[in-house]
Amino acid sequence: MSKKVTELREIAKIEAERMREANPAQYFERNLHQLGFSEPEHALLQTIKEMTDNALDAAEVGNILPEIIIEVEETKEEITLPPQAGKIRKANMYRVRVEDNGIGIVSNKIALSMGKVLFGSKLFTMKQMRGQQGVGISAVILYSQLTSLKPATVISKIEGEEKATKVVLKINVDKNEPIVLEEQKIDWNKEHGTSVEVFIPARYTDKIDKYILELSIGNPHASFILRKKIEGRKSELVINRTTEKIPPPAKEIKPHLSSVDPGILQRMAEVDKDCKTLVSFLSKHFASISPETAKKILKAAKLSYNLPPKQIKADKILEVARNIKLRRPKLEVLSNIGEEAMIAALKNRFKDAEFIAAVSRPPWTYQGIPFQVEVGVAIGGKEVANYINPKRITVIRLANKVPLPYDLSDCLLYKTVNEIDWKNYGLELNERGVPVVPTVFVTSLVASKVPYTSPGKFAVASVEEIHDELTLALQELGRKIREYTYKKRKQESIAKRYEFFRGYYEVLAEEVGLITGGKVDVSNVLKRLFKEVRNVENVE
Ligand SMILES: Nc1ncnc2c1ncn2[C@@H]1O[C@H](COP(=O)(O)OP(=O)(O)OP(=O)(O)O)[C@@H](O)[C@H]1O
Ligand SMILES: [Mg+2]
């Protein structure tokens, strides 16, 4: 063997010795940036986002009108962060606490749900919820213990319990399990709900207030109190709900056979313990598959009906399933915002806007997953002017009713608004393509599963069906905008002409006054003239 070959063998052996398994806590501890925990400003927003997502979900499953308290307090303690571009970075430590009136967590599940990565109630459900991965809150706690070294404090109570349970915990990263430092029953003046508190290096900017305001547009039935203590100064932002109507609850659905990956189908069949045959397996686990349809699929895939699920040939079944027309899944499983509620929320947010409109499309599907898009717009007024970014079209993006504050240019909900030529709908645009009159758009997507571009859930991926529905919704909104701009232009032109002729009327009236030697009431003549002109303009 040559020297080179022996060397390569040795290297391969050394590599083999290095190989080891990693658990999700170890993975995300090293990749927290993928979840939005990279620098202090983003980390604060991400922390609040994960906590409020969970708070709203916990209210929604209980059909409860959400009341959410968010506390953000800057402490004097400084934390040194890993250097970036050779510079040492420091940030103040913040205390962040979010309290909700949701259903609460059963006491023996508090530590697990908070302190184990990829553990949660939403992971295997196909149901429209804000959370879907079982990563959110544990990522916050991982970031907190990694940077401030402090544990998280969770208090939770379920209906009917006399006392709440308080758990102070950290995460054992190597085992991916919670380390409970303290657990006790405490008095808590609340019937049900959860409070989570962490300490993280952070930087407060008004993006936080903006986020909560946008959150209230997606959740007009929720009330929020944001209590801040920044640089020693206390302040509070209170947003009351604009509707008492709880949106219809979202329903859980089964996956559509044509949308599952072969690996998942294979694994589902291998772990199934309840079904004896492939026919019962397919009709039990998938939407729109009756035993008759299952038999048809199996026949076409040349598989026996009575084979046990373990002997599935996932690739053959999927080949057939993707070529036959399966019934569309039930679409009435989503919980949308609704045109009326979106309009009310926009009116509440942009009180002096000149024009507000919203459009809801009916539900549709992508890859067998139900989704629905809604869009809205607020035009004109000081509040919109103060809100918008003059450099680009301003779009509030909501996915399952939660704002997406990052990765704008990668997001379908932004790109589709940008594709529309708003000039065709009467909006005058400047050289950057931004409407001259301050305009803010809202695009909302609700889905049993939102196709995010990354685990941080910052942007919606490009999916043709969603793109098409969004385009239709925006075109309909555009027609409403055109009606408004047409009326507005007409009124403006009337006002201009009115002003123009006014000069003549005044001269005319003066002359009439002179000729009649003051016998005619000039102001009366003027009034009548104006009235006549108005009448004529209105007839036009
Ligand atoms: N405020 C809360 N009230 C009730 N249950 C909660 C609350 N916060 C978290 N949970 C429970 O803890 C689980 C884990 O939460 P986590 O945020 O880590 O994941 P998720 O919300 O399921 O998904 P995602 O990773 O998308 O946020 C949730 O699925 C839920 O069952
Ligand atoms: Mg969550």
CATH number for the domain that contains residue 298 = 1.10.8.50
Residue 138 placed within a domain: yes
Q: Residue 254 half-sphere exposure, CB side, CA atoms within 13 Å?
A: 16
Q: What gap in Å lies between CA 327 and CA 280, rounded to an integer?
A: 18
Is the same domain home to 347 and 360? yes
CA distance 488 to 223: 35
Q: Ligand 1 within 6 A of 54 CB?
A: yes
Q: Which residues pair with 372 in a beta bridge?
A: 446
Atom of ligand 1 nearest to the CA of 132: 26
| 457 CA distance to ligand 1 middle (Å) | 15
Which pTM was predicted? Answer: 0.85
- Ligand 1 atom with the smallest distance to the CA of 98 is 1
Integer angstrom CA distances of residue 467 from 36, 217, 318, 362, 413: 26, 22, 26, 14, 8
- Judgement on whether residues 208 and 309 belong to the same structural domain of the protein: no
Cβ neighbors of 141 (< 8 A, separation 6 or more) are 114, 115, 152, 169, 170, 171, 198
Q: How far is residue 192's CA from residue 196's CA, in Å, rounded to a whole number? A: 14
CB-count exposure of residue 491 (10 Å: 0-12, 13-18, 19+): exposed
Q: Note whether residue 379 is domain-resident.
A: yes
Tally of domains in the chain: 4
Asked whether the beta carbons of 308 and 235 are under 8 A apart, the reply is no
pLDDT per position in the chain (540 positions), as tens? 677 788 999 999 999 999 988 888 888 888 888 888 888 999 999 999 999 999 999 999 999 999 999 999 999 999 988 888 888 889 999 999 999 999 999 999 999 999 998 888 777 778 899 988 888 999 999 999 999 999 999 999 999 999 999 999 999 999 999 999 999 999 999 999 999 999 999 999 999 999 999 999 999 999 999 999 999 999 999 999 999 999 988 998 888 887 788 888 888 888 888 899 999 999 998 888 999 999 999 999 999 998 999 999 999 999 998 887 777 777 789 999 999 999 999 999 999 999 999 999 999 888 878 999 999 999 999 999 999 999 999 999 999 999 999 999 999 999 999 999 999 999 999 999 999 999 999 999 999 999 999 888 899 999 999 999 999 999 999 999 999 999 888 887 777 777 777 677 777 777 777 787 777 777 777 777 777 766 655 544
Rounded-to-integer distance, Cα 215 and Cα 39, Å: 22
SS3 content of the chain, % helix, strand, coil (to 5): 40, 25, 35
Q: Which residues contact 514 (CB under 8 A, 6 or more apart)?
A: none
Do 167 and 288 share a domain, yes or no? no
Q: Which of 269, 295, 323 is the last residue of a domain?
A: 323
Q: Best of 28, 101, 122 to mutate for ligand 1, by most ligand atoms within 8 A of CB?
A: 122
Rounded Cα gap, residues 227 and 28, in angstroms: 30
What is the distance between the alpha carbons of residues 399 and 405, in angstroms, rounded to a whole number?
11
Q: Which atom of ligand 1 is nearest to the CA of 135?
A: 25
Q: Residues within 5 Å of ion ligand 2 by Cβ?
A: 53-54, 131, 136
The residue assigned the tokens 């009575």 is: 306
Which is the closest atom of ligand 1 to the Cα of 139? 18
Protein residue with least CA distance to atom 20, ligand 1: 134
In angstroms, what CA-CA distances link 5 with 2, 10, 11? Answer: 5, 9, 10
Residue with tokens 């008492």: 244
Same domain, 166 and 152: yes
Distance 335 CA to ligand 2 centre (A): 18
Give the residue carrying structure tokens 């939770």.
156
| 367 and 471 co-located in one domain | yes
